[in-house]
Amino acid sequence: MTMLEKFSPLFTDLYELTMAEAYFAHHFTDPAVFSLFIRNYPRERSYFVAAGLEDVLAGLEGFRFSADEIEYLRSTGLFSKGFLLYLEEMRFTGSVRGIPEGTVFFKDEPILEVCAPLIQAQILETFLLNTIGFQTMIATKAARCVHAAGGRALIDFSARRTQGRDAAIKVARSSFITGFSATSNLLAGKLYGIPVSGTMAHSYVTSFDSEIQAFEAYAQTYPDRSVFLIDTYDTLQGAENAAKVALEMKKKGRRLIGVRLDSGDMIAFSKQVRSILDRSGLQDVKVFASSGFDEYKIADAIKQGACIDAFGVGTKLGVSADAPYLDIVYKMVRFRDRDIQKRSTDKINLAGEKQVFRKTKEGGRLAGDTIGLKHEILAGTTALLETVMKDGRRVGPRPSLDAIRKRFARDFAGLDESYKTGAQVYPVALSDPLRKVQGADLRDIL
Amino acid sequence: MTMLEKFSPLFTDLYELTMAEAYFAHHFTDPAVFSLFIRNYPRERSYFVAAGLEDVLAGLEGFRFSADEIEYLRSTGLFSKGFLLYLEEMRFTGSVRGIPEGTVFFKDEPILEVCAPLIQAQILETFLLNTIGFQTMIATKAARCVHAAGGRALIDFSARRTQGRDAAIKVARSSFITGFSATSNLLAGKLYGIPVSGTMAHSYVTSFDSEIQAFEAYAQTYPDRSVFLIDTYDTLQGAENAAKVALEMKKKGRRLIGVRLDSGDMIAFSKQVRSILDRSGLQDVKVFASSGFDEYKIADAIKQGACIDAFGVGTKLGVSADAPYLDIVYKMVRFRDRDIQKRSTDKINLAGEKQVFRKTKEGGRLAGDTIGLKHEILAGTTALLETVMKDGRRVGPRPSLDAIRKRFARDFAGLDESYKTGAQVYPVALSDPLRKVQGADLRDIL
């Protein structure tokens, strides 16, 4: 169990609880609806991939302040006895509607709507934004890498440079959803059943007296699973050494899986290494490459004819380096019987409890979304938000990671190339009933 | 206890364990020395602030594969029975030398050196890089914000958009080290005893029938701790409303702490709001500002004469948005009796077990560092790396967060302005004995 699953309700901003104390004092305990959505695309993005819902539901199921958490709150001197008692007994009793993980969606569309007594719904803000925001950001980045790789295998190598260990585990899961083949992260492999993969490090090679001895030792231990790192001393000599050991392996009926490049001009090296291997009759030995790859570098390598069969994608995926956060927000959209809209100088949101309706054309092609009110019926569309929790309990079975992966593959295959690249903006409209409940001028939104 | 403290040794890359299996098969169990350092400054950076060591030591003390982790490894089919037994009984028995948290240091300087049996030292790589890398990156970003704020108060508001929950907790701690006053993150407040702070959200204001009612309700609950968010509907009207409620509070002998701006042109608004407050005789009501602040935006606001007394710093601190990862590496530098240097096309490292020697001038001003071999003695310098673990046990007491904070304050005060801004490069030299053990051309390093 990872920390994201073992959720402490104390993971929240102080103001959520001071506001809640004021709500409590004024008996504001009626149900409210909050909506989670992304206000803008980060650079280069034109779609998002939903992720994080499973962790949200696990957190809500176990929602409960422990005795020592209540004691800590008491020690701050900020909370009344009555309110602390209320918190101590609080469980999540609300309902949650969400876009399933793996779904492709767009800005302004609600990913999640929570309907719960105001105080419950309010204090979840920090947790929900953090969980959905991070995993959705990474799944989106990973989808972009998958798109750039055009069918070549991708492996998550990010664990060492993610922003914390929990992040690493979630990166492995979020990238696997979008079609990555494997992760190097063993803990993620164990937790989620994701295939694990890896080669060797430079320190391994340097701990032997020679590179060729290092390769031979590895081949002895892993006669059918070896990938040799060939750039420790001299990449082309490394390729020759790898070829030599691969031929020895071949004689024994074994096969070298591949060689890995981790530095230098990967495009030029990959071609030279390929030809060294081919010259030795080792056409079946693959070339892996790692070091600084992301969707941009992958696309560039492919365009320049690099002979790379699989990419290890690390740091830049793991922190979504070119866009390391989302403009994701959680806004009250309904309280008591009033649709609510915040309106400040430069930030606005859509009032009302909502639904996203999607039209698809033949062959599953995504043809346009409409954001409407929850109870509308739009013929010939699919409603994206599903009820996943009711009265604090999960509704329906927990989808397998494989099912989530398939959902993404289906959606992504249905998304036209021009929407993937951002050449065209995917059409998202607002329904008339939704427009009618808005108090403000909507020109700035859609 | 956060996840970073409850370290699972399975948080590692697969290749660490497959290499280890090969080492085991070849009886490579002699001690090795690995060095952790940062190869380059990210954009705009010219120094680093050490953080993460405490989590490293806590992780190493509890280092132990659980039965079900061993079972998972067995299930992969990659490991021999003998090796799994070896792992099952493995504890960390090595020694660790590190630069204490809160210390200012520079690129190429070893932050941490681990001396342990090769397999132990190797499989820690992922954990060490992740832990020290992330926390050092955030402490460095936070120090830059503190520098830009020139004495104004800073509060960590990042929890909702960090890359996971563990990250949020570490951001609160790392920013507090560098002089932040407080965090909004209650869980971090509880775990580390960091002061907590917060105001109110737009949803709070919109849940009342009017803004003034929202302010009055809050003031009633928190007569001595209120900060009103004034930009929900109209910032200047919000300031007038806040002033009105503040004057009512004043009559009852209470004081409004401040108002908060969260959108719009903060520089212009802050001046107008200041004058609205002053006009009502509310010179003691402070102006807080949040939304998108980082060192650049803070410096700009101050330069343009913004009337802001305290900044809430969120997302861009929490993910180190302009530089979301460090080029941090962990390299074997000595094995058996051999100093080791990896040398590939574009990556190089310094062989040998090392120490960083620092000269200080009168008044504690930092005057230059020398990277040398561990056993050198350089008169008039202080050695930065301290032995913090020996035979797998901590050496010396655990420093308090307050002591770490003081260490940073002292070091940072001693760092000349020109080194802080990067106008000048802080002098870091290599000692002659260190140079002698290098096999390669060092021109590219320093």
Q: A67-84: per-residue pLDDT in tens?
A: 999 999 999 999 999 999
Contact B111, B99 (CB under 8 A): yes
Domain ranges across chain B? 14-138+323-436, 198-289
Q: Cα–Cα distance between A87 and B52 in angstroms, integer? A: 33
Residues of chain A in contact with residue B198, where contact means CB-CB under 8 angstroms, are 13-16, 18
CB contact under 8 A, A164 and B159: no
Q: What's the pLDDT band for B342 if we cut at 50, 70, 90?
A: low
Cβ-in-10-Å burial (0-12, 13-18, 19+) of B136 comes to buried
In the DSSP assignment, the letter for residue A42 is P
Q: Cα–Cα distance between B386 and B57 in angstroms, integer? A: 13
B264 → closest Cβ in A12, A25, A346? A346
Residue B29 has what pLDDT? 86
Beta-carbon count within 10 A of A289 CB: 28
Containing B219, the helix (H) or strand (E) segment is: helix B211-221
Residue A337 has what pLDDT? 82
Residues of chain B in contact with residue A328, where contact means CB-CB under 8 angstroms, are 161
Residue A419 has what pLDDT? 97
Note the pLDDT tens digit of each residue in A250-270.
999 999 999 999 999 999 999
Could you tell me the end-to-end alpha-carbon distance of chain A, in angstroms, rounded to an integer? Answer: 40
Nearest to B59 by CA among B13, B33, B92, B18: B92
Q: What's the pLDDT band for B445 if we cut at 50, 70, 90?
A: very low
Residue B207 has what pLDDT? 86
Residue A443 has pLDDT above 60, yes or no: no
Note the pLDDT tens digit of each residue in B271-280.
999 999 999 9
Give the homologous superfamily in CATH for domain B198-289.
Aldolase class I (3.20.20.70)
pLDDT average, residue stretch B243-253:
96
Contact A241, A212 (CB under 8 A): yes
CB contact under 8 A, B22 and A122: no
Contact B317, B185 (CB under 8 A): no
Q: Pairing relation of β-strands B153-156 and A386-390?
A: unpaired
Q: Cα–Cα distance between A328 and A428 in angstroms, integer? A: 18
Nearest to B19 by CA among B131, B129, B124, B132: B124
In the DSSP assignment, the letter for residue A222 is -
Residues of chain A in contact with residue B34, where contact means CB-CB under 8 angstroms, are 203
Q: Which two tokens stand for residue A357?
A: 């309706």
Note the pLDDT tens digit of each residue in B161-178.
999 999 999 999 999 999
pLDDT average, residue stretch A106-134:
97
CB contact under 8 A, A3 and B2: yes
Q: Cα–Cα distance between B62 and B8 in angstroms, integer? A: 9
Residue B57 has what pLDDT? 97
CB contact under 8 A, B190 and A222: no
Note the pLDDT tens digit of each residue in A261-305.
999 999 999 999 999 999 999 999 999 999 999 999 999 999 999
Task: Give the least confident one: A195-204, A422-431, B65-74, B102-111.
Answer: A195-204
Nearest to B273 by CA among B306, B310, B311, B312: B306
Angstroms from B325 CA to nearest CA on chain A: 7
Angstroms from B86 CA to nearest CA on chain A: 16
Length of chain A: 446
Residue B340 has what pLDDT? 79
Residue A1 has pLDDT above 80, yes or no: no
CB contact under 8 A, A25 and B217: yes
Residue A248 has what pLDDT? 96
Residues of chain B in contact with residue A131, where contact means CB-CB under 8 angstroms, are 165
Angstroms from A406 CA to nearest CA on chain B: 24
CB contact under 8 A, A184 and B13: yes
Backbone φ, ψ for residue B340 (5° rounding): -120, 135
Q: Cα–Cα distance between B377 and B375 in angstroms, integer? A: 7
Q: What is the mean pLDDT of chain B?
A: 94
B342 → closest Cβ in A19, A206, A221? A206
Beta-carbon count within 10 A of B440 CB: 14
Test the B interface: residue of A141, A222, A272, A325 with most B CBs within 10 Å: A325
A347 → closest Cβ in B263, B321, B347? B263
Sheet bearing A112-117, strands edge to edge: A338-339, A328-335, A31-38, A112-117, A95-98, A386-390, A393-394
Note the pLDDT tens digit of each residue in B196-206.
998 888 889 98
C-alpha radius of gyration, chain A, whole number: 25
Angstroms from A362 CA to nearest CA on chain B: 38
Residue B446 has pLDDT above 80, yes or no: no
Q: What is the mean pLDDT of chain A?
A: 94
CB contact under 8 A, B78 and A32: no
A203 vs A215, more confident: A215
B324 → closest Cβ in A122, A321, A340? A321
Residue B218 has pLDDT above 60, yes or no: yes
Q: What's the pLDDT band for A207 if we cut at 50, 70, 90?
A: confident
Number of H helices, E strands in chain B: 17, 19
Q: What's the pLDDT band for B444 if we cut at 50, 70, 90?
A: very low
Angstroms from B225 CA to nearest CA on chain A: 9
Angstroms from B1 CA to nearest CA on chain A: 10
pLDDT average, residue stretch A388-408:
96
Q: What's the pLDDT band for A440 if we cut at 50, 70, 90?
A: low
Share of chain B above pLDDT 90, in %: 89
What is A149-318's CATH topology?
TIM Barrel (3.20.20)
Helices B81-89/B14-25 angle, 10° precision? 110
Sheet bearing A310-313, strands edge to edge: A182-183, A153-156, A310-313, A286-289, A258-261, A227-229
Residues of chain A in contact with residue B125, where contact means CB-CB under 8 angstroms, are 160, 201, 203
A335 → closest Cβ in B202, B207, B342? B207
Angstroms from B111 CA to nearest CA on chain A: 16
Q: Cα–Cα distance between A310 and A288 in angstroms, integer? A: 5
Residue B11 has what pLDDT? 97
Note the pLDDT tens digit of each residue in B97-144.
999 999 999 999 999 999 999 999 999 999 999 999 999 999 999 999
Note the pLDDT tens digit of each residue in B344-396.
545 668 999 999 999 999 999 999 999 999 999 999 999 999 999 999 999 98
Residues of chain A in contact with residue B203, where contact means CB-CB under 8 angstroms, are 19, 34, 122, 125, 331-332, 340, 342
Nearest to A311 by CA among A253, A250, A270, A356: A270
Angstroms from B367 CA to nearest CA on chain A: 32
Nearest to A287 by CA among A258, A313, A262: A258
Residue A322 has what pLDDT? 97
Which conformational region is residue A49 in: left (phi greater than 0), alpha (psi within -120 to 50 degrees), or beta?
A: beta
Contact B370, B71 (CB under 8 A): no
Angstroms from B364 CA to nearest CA on chain A: 33
Note the pLDDT tens digit of each residue in B13-71.
999 999 999 999 999 989 999 999 999 999 999 999 999 999 999 999 999 999 999 99
Residues of chain A in contact with residue B28, where contact means CB-CB under 8 angstroms, are 207
What is A14-138+323-436's CATH topology?
nicotinate phosphoribosyltransferase (3.20.140)
Q: What's the pLDDT band for A342 if we cut at 50, 70, 90?
A: low
CB within 8 Å of B25: residues ≥ 6 apart: A217, A220, A221, B80, B83
Could you tell me the end-to-end alpha-carbon distance of chain B, in angstroms, rounded to an integer? Answer: 41
Cβ-in-10-Å burial (0-12, 13-18, 19+) of B150 comes to exposed
Share of chain B above pLDDT 70, in %: 95
Residue A396 has what pLDDT? 87
Q: Cα–Cα distance between A173 and A185 in angstroms, integer? A: 10
CB contact under 8 A, B263 and A69: no
Residues of chain A in contact with residue B4, where contact means CB-CB under 8 angstroms, are 164-165
Q: Pairing relation of β-strands B310-313 and B286-289?
A: parallel
CB contact under 8 A, B206 and A14: no
**What ipTM, to 2 d.p.?**
0.95
pLDDT average, residue stretch A164-176:
97
Tell me the three state secondary structure of residue A138: helix
Residues of chain A in contact with residue B221, where contact means CB-CB under 8 angstroms, are 18, 21-22, 25
Residue B422 has pLDDT above 80, yes or no: yes
pLDDT average, residue stretch B207-232:
94
Residue A203 has what pLDDT? 83
CB pairs under 8 A between A and B: 333
B340 → closest Cβ in A10, A164, A206? A206
